Amino acid sequence: MENRFCSITAGVNTCHLCFEKAFYSLKLPQRPHRKLPRMELFRCGHGMCASCYEAHTRAAGCFKCPWCRDGCSYIFPSFPHSAAGPPKSSIATLSELVDEWSESLDLLYTTRSPFILLHKQIFEKEKNRQVLCRDLRVQAAKEAAKREEKKKRAAEREKAVCGVCGKATFTSAKQLEAHTRAKHQ
């Protein structure tokens, strides 16, 4: 997959306009967060929280990304669109695109729309991160088990002293048993 510029990651992001937290859901349509506003994704890979986006578009009239001045995607009226209302003439965020295509999300997912390519990239990155975390957890668990085993063996060695002759150089309880059998029975 080509690597596109993207300032947004899965889950909690910080909005670079208001510095509040906002949530980017990997589900399409995006699942709202219990507390946080949605992190809106633009086709340029920038984004801002939904509250800033509303304020920004209201103030600006027509949308331009405040960081790179990239504008909207214009959609053709023949595209499938939701029954909810007339089609938008322009799409500035992933969620607007998803609203517009709500009847044909499967189809939307196969397009090379920059929004979808970015969303897939965010998804992919999150999946890789999770795999990495899992690998690290497995690795840490293995090391902890090894340390535990070492400790157990050390404790065993400590206890392996012959009660008859006092010999204490055994490396395990088994060795001590063998010694007792051979020397003292």
Partners of 83 in beta bridges: none
Q: Which amino acid is at 119?
A: H
Partners of 13 in beta bridges: 22
By C-beta, is 66 or 87 nearer to Zn ion?
Answer: 66
By C-beta, is 17 or 117 nearer to Zn ion?
Answer: 17
The answer to whether 117 contacts Zn ion (rule: CB under 5 A) is no
CA distance 138 to 106: 35
Least distance between Zn ion and beta carbon 135 (Å): 34
CA distance 156 to 174: 10
By C-beta, is 41 or 44 nearer to Zn ion?
Answer: 44
Contact letters for Zn ion, residues 92-111 (x by CB under 5 A): --------------------
Closest CA to 43 of 109, 147, 117: 117
CA distance 84 to 13: 30
**Residue 54 three-state SS:** helix
Q: What angle do CA 14, 19, 23 make, to 5 degrees?
A: 35
User: From the list 164, 168, 173, 178, which residue makes contact with Zn ion (rule: CB under 5 A)?
Assistant: 164
Least distance between Zn ion and beta carbon 88 (Å): 19
Of 117-125, 127-135, 142-150, 155-163, the window that binds Zn ion (rule: CB under 5 A) is 155-163
User: From the list 6, 8, 36, 44, which residue makes contact with Zn ion (rule: CB under 5 A)?
Assistant: 44
CA distance 144 to 128: 24
User: From the list 4, 55, 67, 88, which residue makes contact with Zn ion (rule: CB under 5 A)?
Assistant: 67
Instruction: Name the residues that contact Zn ion, by CB under 5 A.
Output: 15, 17-18, 44, 46, 49, 52, 65, 67-68, 70, 162, 164-165, 167
